[in-house]
Amino acid sequence: MKLTRPLIASPLASNPVNFGHHPKLLTTAEAARRITVTTRTLERWRTDGRGPRHLRLSTGVIRYDEHAIEEFLAASERRSTSDQGRG
């Protein structure tokens, strides 16, 4: 019989997290390339609270969950220049 760990609520996401799945964590440079912005832009967004959710693992160690990057891109979609977005 295979044992599975229960789902718990993560303080970093509104979705439950399964400990059996480890999402890929991206460095600032990797996340910036994925979003197609400079690392400086991503750092500024992080300071301003405008960019994708991130993890601060320790002083100077920032990582981005690949799913947070995808959510950020999806939330940034617009149909026209007058579209205000999802919220």
Q: What would the pLDDT profile of 17-56 be if each residue is shown by its tens digit?
A: 555 566 789 999 999 999 999 999 999 999 999 999 999 9
With a cut of 90, say whether residue 79 has pLDDT above it: no
Q: Tokens 């229960």 correspond to what residue?
A: 6
Topology of domain 21-75, per CATH?
Answer: Multidrug-efflux Transporter Regulator; Chain: A; Domain 2 (1.10.1660)
Task: Order across the sheet with 55-58: list the strands.
Answer: 25-26, 61-65, 55-58
Phi, psi of 58 (to 5 degrees): -170, 180
Residue 16 has a pLDDT of: 52
Domain-by-domain residue ranges, the chain?
A: 21-75
> Would the pTM of this model clear 0.75, i.e. be above it?
no
Q: 62-77: b or e for each residue (b if 16 or more CB lie within 10 Å)?
A: bbbbbebbebbeeeee
Dist. CA 21–CA 19, nearest whole Å:
5
Chain segment 9-23, per-residue pLDDT in tens: 445 555 555 555 667
pLDDT band at 4; cut points 50, 70, 90: low
- Counted residue by residue, the chain has a size of 87
